Structure 1
Amino acid sequence: MQIAEPRHTFYLRCLTTFRRLTALVLLGLLLSAPDLSAKPQLTVESVTSSATLPAANPAFKHPNDLHQVFFLQRNSNANTIVWVAQFDPDGRLNPDRPIAGYWRRFAGRGHVMAFRWYERVFGFGTKSRELADGSGFEVRFNGIKSEQLLLKQNGPFDAALYTRQNGRDLKMIYGYLEVDESGLLPKVVRLRLYTSDPKTGQYSTHTIAVSGGAFRE
């Protein structure tokens, strides 16, 4: 005979799922460049340069996966989202699916885990379109379809993801989110985006404060 799940356990499971969904929506939104007219509101606090890549959290391992183009970490735990370029057998970007993402579960064994359907559909999945001039692929995250990124091939089996800031293409390396989970809904309070300038070799840390970071329908 199957034993029914206790009601309080069912409610807790539903709440956990809801919290994950709202967090995904927020994380997706915050991967975009600052848009001060949107909610939540983002304010650039500073942009600093350095000769070496800073570690937002030295306790968290940085992934170094094959064909990696970007990764995202949070202060919540060491689990990291990784996006990689995909190539055909000749080393050219795959026109059908040039970029793919997944979890690297560093809080566990460091194993790879596919996105859940809602993570892919509402947050971390991507849509891509080859540019008419053949210079690369326009990439948009499902959570931030308004923000256009460029996936550009630099050589056989070699590609990078770029964002345009002040007329310059900066290579995206990783993002780090500070999330306050003390309330009913997760609240993002700060985003740090780490890029490099291909022309100078300098790294930039874009520190962005977040207000109104709690998700509301």
Structure 2
Amino acid sequence: MKQLLLFLSLTASSFLPAKYTNNHVSHSLTGPDTLKNHKSENKYPALPASVNHLFYVQRDPNANTIVYELNAPNGKLDEEEPVHAYWIRYAAKGEHAELNYIQRKFAYGLNQKPLGNGKYDIRVVSYKKYPMTLMKSQDGKYHIFATIGQKQVILNRIFVRIEGGSFWIPNVLYVELRGSDPVTGQEIVDRFKP
């Protein structure tokens, strides 16, 4: 619990999986409903096509984005650290920046453990109870798989909506997890209040 509170204070955001909360709404969105129901998030930029991300995190109070990318220099997966996290600082003309020590160790960094057969257990250090798995999908590419809306899907985005509060105790209105069904490609969304 102390790590979760530290994460909240360091980042003015939080994301907890729906299965650990009581106040969540799960639904699938496709077509025009996707934009209609989420207009307020459209101010956040989409990642550039050149960014080969697994998933990313966006949150209030700014558009700066934490990107989680496959760590495969020269096409070979780094087995000790298969996922690399860094910032895209849109407030600083889109420059890339590494996470600092505190962000890596207490907030956005990852614990990464091989499971065998090319699979890896991936956990955000601030909330280790939410399991994610790095593994290849039917398309032959690595993806992060997580449970969203009680389905095992490819995780694409986490968004945290904050309104007011303070640096130490932000008022988190909701957390939204977005992923896609690995078979149908349908978008799966789970929104909840932590």
What is the TM-score when the length of structure 2 is the normalising length? 0.81
- After the TM superposition, which residues 68-83 of structure 1 pair with which residues of structure 2 at under 5 Å, given as runs? 68-83=53-68
Question: Aligned residue for 2:153?
Answer: 170
- For 1:70 and 1:53, locate their aligned partners in 2 and report how far apart those are by CA, in whole Å: 22
Which residue, out of 24, 27, 33, partners 1:47? Answer: 27
Tell me the SS of whatever aligns to 1:107.
helix
Question: Does residue 138 of the first structure (1) align with residue 118 of the second (2)?
Answer: no
8 Å contact kept, 1:67–1:158: no
Which residue, out of 132, 137, 162, partners 1:179? Answer: 162
- For 2:13 and 2:98, locate their aligned partners in 1 and report how far apart those are by CA, in whole Å: 20
Q: Unmatched 5+ residue regions in structure 2? A: 1-5
- For 2:46 and 2:164, locate their aligned partners in 1 and report how far apart those are by CA, in whole Å: 23
- For 1:186 and 1:113, locate their aligned partners in 2 and report how far apart those are by CA, in whole Å: 24
Question: Does residue 209 of the first structure (1) align with residue 189 of the second (2)?
Answer: no
Q: Compute the displacement of 1:201 (Å).
A: 1.2
8 Å contact kept, 1:67–1:157: no
Q: Deviations over 1:12-32 (max 9, x none)?
A: xxxxxxx986143852xx143
Tell me the SS of whatever aligns to 2:63.
coil
- For 2:150 and 2:44, locate their aligned partners in 1 and report how far apart those are by CA, in whole Å: 32
Question: Aligned residue for 1:84?
Answer: 69
- With over 3 angstroms needed to count, the CA separation of the structure-2 counterparts of 1:167 and 1:78, relative to structure 1, is closer
Q: Compute the displacement of 1:52 (Å).
A: 7.7
- With over 3 angstroms needed to count, the CA separation of the structure-2 counterparts of 1:72 and 1:54, relative to structure 1, is farther
Question: Aligned residue for 2:52?
Answer: 67
- With over 3 angstroms needed to count, the CA separation of the structure-2 counterparts of 1:88 and 1:166, relative to structure 1, is same
Q: Deviations over 1:45-73 (max 9, x none)?
A: 23233158946421221114533001111
Tell me the SS of whatever aligns to 2:92.
coil
Q: Unmatched 5+ residue regions in structure 1? A: 1-18, 37-41, 211-217
Q: Deviations over 1:82-121 (max 9, x none)?
A: 11011153x3422111001011011220001111211111
8 Å contact kept, 1:190–1:208: yes
Question: Aligned residue for 1:22?
Answer: 9
| Percent identity over paired residues | 20
Q: Compute the displacement of 1:156 (Å).
A: 10
8 Å contact kept, 1:83–1:101: yes
Cα RMSD over matched residues?
Answer: 2.9
Q: Which amino acid aligns with 2:94?
A: G
8 Å contact kept, 1:92–1:156: no
- With over 3 angstroms needed to count, the CA separation of the structure-2 counterparts of 1:118 and 1:168, relative to structure 1, is same
Mark the structure with the bigger radius of gyration.
Answer: 1
Question: Aligned residue for 2:131?
Answer: 148
Q: Which amino acid aligns with 2:136?
A: Q
Q: Which has the higher strand share?
A: 2
Q: Compute the displacement of 1:81 (Å).
A: 0.8
- For 2:185 and 2:25, locate their aligned partners in 1 and report how far apart those are by CA, in whole Å: 23
- With over 3 angstroms needed to count, the CA separation of the structure-2 counterparts of 1:53 and 1:193, relative to structure 1, is farther
